[in-house]
Amino acid sequence: MSDLLSEKTPIRARHIRPGQGQAVEVKTGQLLQIQTLQGKQVADFVAFTQDDTEEFLSTSVTRASNANIVPQRGMTLFSNRRQPMFEIVEDTVGRHDMLYACCDPVRYETLGAPGHANCREALAESMASYGIGYDRIPSPINWFMNVAILARGELEIREPLAEKNDYVVLRALKDVIAGVSACPQDLVPTNGSNPTDLTVRVYRDAPLPPSPVMEPPPAATAAAATTPVVAMKLTPRPATLQSTAEATVFRVGRVDSGEAT
Amino acid sequence: MSDLLSEKTPIRARHIRPGQGQAVEVKTGQLLQIQTLQGKQVADFVAFTQDDTEEFLSTSVTRASNANIVPQRGMTLFSNRRQPMFEIVEDTVGRHDMLYACCDPVRYETLGAPGHANCREALAESMASYGIGYDRIPSPINWFMNVAILARGELEIREPLAEKNDYVVLRALKDVIAGVSACPQDLVPTNGSNPTDLTVRVYRDAPLPPSPVMEPPPAATAAAATTPVVAMKLTPRPATLQSTAEATVFRVGRVDSGEAT
């Protein structure tokens, strides 16, 4: 598992089955880990400021403020008031989506499957005790969702690149309520046509351990000098959005996948 | 002006100066025209269902339902409940954005211009009488905004391709309240560094006139057979999202730009 989180016990943990949503409170500085247990599983993710739920994570402000369309390590996620809500501090996959809406009842009617479990209702149910209803579920970040953007703007949903135990870790920059659903979509390749479980864990903040970049090996390259504290290595070229073989196989390789706590 | 709207008098019209927002009611079937008078001017656009403003135009559902990232003629714009709100029936430019958030006070603070006029507050003011406040201004469609998407997901704001009197026409598929602001951004190329005025007009619905596609000239190609009712011609290859010379100069050519009513 993550070096950052090793030897730490989560203060809060949720197991999420496909079609379920879970709300979890995360205080400023705490770490939120979202992990796929079997791989190829999308986590729809929304978040609200804890003491004022009119403020929420905004994908459009996040795209604009980062001038980028792809959530990636080091990126700050912003609210609809353009305030920092999270930082992406770890990411073992490197391919996520912040363009797609949650799947919802109308989507499944269109696919000939009325009444199908869906992320929108799952998130709304998980947020009900905070007074947040269906209409107020914002556009999500879809962790592990693999959407190719083709040259004329066409979007194409592909199997996630996430493998068993892959995860992201977010550091909360405000006190928030996060909502996570395990996408139950089994009619298109969103979840590799086989939705599986997720876990969500909250850890107390901890100072980052001394970074290995302080003592790079003699052969270290410039790229190695920016290696994050968790033992990961980036493939030489980050993912492109094009429909190329390279883009479809890209993922961040982990040196040691270890066992999840 | 548009053949579709020629010989028609708008039932409602608004002139919008940079930094201003205007709300306008549009009934099902009516046509909403948004026009730039000098060109190179972005129109931030939001919309709410008239009798239930918890339903609003959603860029994420629109992207997902169309499996496309670029607003374009023929596309249906959807609400957060995945219901059709508008159809894009005319478009003399062919390059718009639905990725960026409205400019807002924090954005201008970051740019060293606190207190600058901004679209978010302008739209909120225009919607105040409908009980819609700042936090509920959704992610907009930014008509005429020219955002290049580079290979690694980077976004780059460029000068709009819209020229004098260019416009889009939307057919309302619900009774809606539309909000339009003329973006006052003069610190980056969003509006060609020189924000100018917009007009918004609402027309009664009219049956589409007989389409010229019914009698194509002998040399007509398959592409010509889909020519819309307004006299436009598409350049042979539609815009790509890449940072190519081709993409940056693409626009839909109008055969007759005429004079706006």
Q: Do B152 and A240 touch (CB under 8 A)?
A: yes
pLDDT class of A6 with cuts at 50, 70, 90: low
Q: Band of the pLDDT at A247, cuts 50, 70, 90?
A: very low
Contacts of residue B156, Cβ cutoff 8 Å, sequence gap at least 6: A67, B147, B148, B149, B150, B243
d(Cα A250, Cα A92) in Å, to the nearest integer? 11
What's the whole-model pTM score? 0.82
Out of B82, B100, B152, name the one closest to residue A107 (CB): B82
- Give pLDDT, residue B255: 36
**Tokens encoding A66:** 């980062």
Q: Which tokens hold the place of A222? A: 């410039």
A221-229: average pLDDT: 35
The per-residue pLDDT for range A104-122, each reduced to its tens digit, is 999 999 999 999 999 999 9
Cβ of residue A114 closer than 8 Å to a chain B Cβ: no
* Three-state secondary structure readout of chain A: CCCCCCCCCCCEEEEECECCEEEEEECCCCEEEEEECCECCCEEEEEEECCCCCCEECHHHHHHHHCECCCCCCCEEEECCCCEEEEEEEECCCCCECCCCCCCHHHHHHCCCCCCCCHHHHHHHHHHHHCCCHHHCCCCEEECCEEEECCCCEEEEECCCCECCCEEEEEECCCEEEEEEECCCCCCHHHCCCCCCEEEEEECCCCCCCCHHHCCCCCCCCCHHHCCCCCEECCCCCCCCCCCHHHHHCCCEECCCCCCC
pLDDT interval class at B1 (50, 70, 90):
low
Cβ-based burial of B209 (10 A; exposed 0-12, middle 13-18, buried ≥19) = exposed
Closest CB from A69, A154, A241 relative to B68? A154
Give the per-residue pLDDT at A166.
Answer: 97
- Does the pLDDT value for residue A4 go beyond 80? no
Contact A139 B107 (CB under 8 A): no
% of chain B at pLDDT higher than 90: 74
User: Using the beta-carbon criterion (under 8 Å), do B154 and A68 form an inter-chain contact?
Assistant: yes
Q: List CB contacts (< 8 A) between B242 and chain A.
A: 151
* pLDDT confidence band for A151 (50 / 70 / 90): confident
Distance from CA of B125 to the nearest CA of A (A): 16
pLDDT band at A244 (very low <50, low <70, confident <90, very high): very low
Are A154 and B67 an interchain contact pair (Cβ–Cβ within 8 Å)?
yes
pLDDT cut 90: percent of chain A above it: 74
Residue B27 has pLDDT above 90, yes or no: yes
Q: Which two tokens stand for residue B111?
A: 């740019």
**Residues near A189 by beta carbon (within 8 Å), at least 6 away in sequence:** A157, A158, A159
Q: What is the pLDDT of residues B88-127, one digit of tens each?
A: 999 999 999 999 999 999 999 999 999 999 999 999 999 9
Q: How close A94 comes to chain B (CA, Å)?
A: 12
pLDDT digits (tens, 9 = 90+) for B53-67: 999 999 999 999 999
Q: Tell if the CB–CB gap between B59 and A139 is shorter than 8 Å.
A: yes
Of B67, B136, B239, the CB nearest to A155: B67
What per-residue confidence (pLDDT) applies to B3? 60
Give the CA radius of gyration of chain B.
18
pLDDT at A208: 46
Q: Which of B55, B106, B239 lies nearest to residue A135, judging by beta carbons?
A: B55
Position A212 pLDDT exceeds 90 = no
Tokens 């020189």, residue? B194
Alpha carbon distance A46, A66 (integer Å): 18
Q: CA dist A197 to A19, A88, B14, B46, B170, Å?
A: 10, 22, 52, 37, 42
* Distance, CA of A244 to CA of A247 (rounded, Å): 5
Buried b (16+ CB within 10 A) or exposed e, A53-84: bebbbbbbbbbbbbebbbbbbebebbbbbbee
Q: Would you state the pLDDT for residue B151?
A: 85
CB contact under 8 A, B68 and A153: yes
The whole-number average pLDDT for the span B81-86 is: 98
**Per-residue pLDDT reduced to its tens digit, B181-235:** 999 999 999 999 999 999 999 999 765 444 444 444 444 333 333 333 233 333 3
Report pLDDT for B217. Answer: 40
- Residue of higher predicted confidence among A250 and A35: A35
Question: Which stretch of A33-37, A127-131, B236-240 has the lowest confidence by average pLDDT?
Answer: B236-240
- Angle ∠(B45,B46,B52) on CA atoms, nearest 5: 160
Q: Is B234 on the interface with A (CB under 8 A)?
A: no
Residue A149 to residue B70, Cβ atoms within 8 A: no
Maximum Cα interatomic distance, chain B, rounded to a whole number of Å: 60
In the beta sheet, which residues pair with residue A176?
A: A26, A49
Residue B89 CB partners (closer than 8 Å, separation 6+): B4, B31, B73, B169, B170, B171, B228
Tokens of A119: 């992320």
A9-43 tens-digit pLDDT: 899 999 999 999 999 999 999 999 999 999 999 99
Which of A121-133 are b and which e, b meaning 16 or more Cβ less than 10 Å from the residue's Cβ?
bbbbbbbeeeebe
Mean pLDDT over B132-144 rounds to 97
**And the tokens for A163?**
């493998």
